[in-house]
Amino acid sequence: MPDILHKVDIKSSPNETYRALTTLEGLAGWWTTTTGGNPSAGGTIAFRFGPQGGFDMKVLELEPARRVLWQVVDGPEEWIGTKVSFDLRPEGDFTVVLFKHQGWKEPVEFMHHCSTKWATYLLSMKSMLETGKGRPHPDDLHISARGD
Amino acid sequence: MPDILHKVDIKSSPNETYRALTTLEGLAGWWTTTTGGNPSAGGTIAFRFGPQGGFDMKVLELEPARRVLWQVVDGPEEWIGTKVSFDLRPEGDFTVVLFKHQGWKEPVEFMHHCSTKWATYLLSMKSMLETGKGRPHPDDLHISARGD
pLDDT tens figures, B113-148? 999 999 999 999 999 999 999 999 999 999 999 999
Task: Round to whole Å and give the CA distance between A13 and A113.
Answer: 30
Q: What integer best gives the mean pLDDT of chain A?
A: 97
Q: Does residue A145 belong to the interface with chain B, where contact is any CB pair within 8 Å?
A: yes
- Element of type H or E holding A20: helix A14-22
State the nearest Cα–Cα gap between A20 and chain B, in angstroms: 18
Single-letter amino acid code for the residue at B133: K
Share of chain B above pLDDT 70, in %: 99
Task: Round to whole Å and give the CA distance between A133 and A30.
Answer: 8
pLDDT tens figures, B46-72? 999 999 899 999 999 999 999 999 999
Are residues B18 and B69 in contact, defined by beta-carbon separation less than 8 angstroms?
A: no
Q: Which ranges constitute the DSSP H helices of chain B?
A: 14-22, 24-28, 109-131
Residues in chain A: 148
Phi, psi of A130, deg, nearest 5: -90, -30
Share of chain A above pLDDT 70, in %: 99
Q: If we measure between CA atoms, which residue out of B92, B90, B99, B91 comes closest to residue B124?
A: B99
pLDDT tens figures, A49-68? 999 899 999 999 999 999 99
From B6, B144, B145, residue closest to A115, measured CB to CB: B6
Question: How distant is the alpha carbon of residue B23 from its chain centre?
Answer: 12
Q: What integer best gives the mean pLDDT of chain B?
A: 97
Distances (CA, A) of B111 to A7, A17, A33, A106, B116: 9, 22, 30, 20, 9
* pLDDT for B1 beyond 90: no
| Span A3-32, average pLDDT | 98
Task: Round to whole Å and give the CA distance between B18 and B67.
Answer: 8
Single-letter amino acid code for the residue at B122: L
Could you count the other beta carbons within 10 Å of the beta carbon of residue A79? 21
Produce one character per residue of B76-85: b if its CB has 16 or more CB atoms within 10 Å, e if not. eebbeebbbb
Q: What is the pLDDT of residue A52?
A: 87
Phi, psi of B124, deg, nearest 5: -65, -40
Task: Round to whole Å and give the CA distance between B136 and B18.
Answer: 17
Q: Does residue A147 belong to the interface with chain B, where contact is any CB pair within 8 Å?
A: no
pLDDT tens figures, A72-118? 999 999 999 999 999 999 999 999 999 999 999 999 999 999 999 99
Q: What is the pLDDT of residue A122?
A: 98
Q: Which residue does chain B place closest to A3, by CA atoms?
A: B2
Chain A residues whose beta carbon lies within 8 Å of the beta carbon of residue B2: 2-3, 5
DSSP conformation class of B132: S
Task: Return the C-alpha torsion angle A55, A58, A61, A64, nearest 10.
Answer: 70
ipTM of the complex model: 0.97
Q: What is the pLDDT of residue B140?
A: 97
* pLDDT for A30 beyond 80: yes
CB contact under 8 A, B98 and A92: no
| Span B91-118, average pLDDT | 98
Task: Round to whole Å and give the CA distance between A29 and A125.
Answer: 7
pTM score > 0.95 for this model? yes
Phi, psi of A15, deg, nearest 5: -65, -45
State the nearest Cα–Cα gap between A28 and chain B, in angstroms: 21
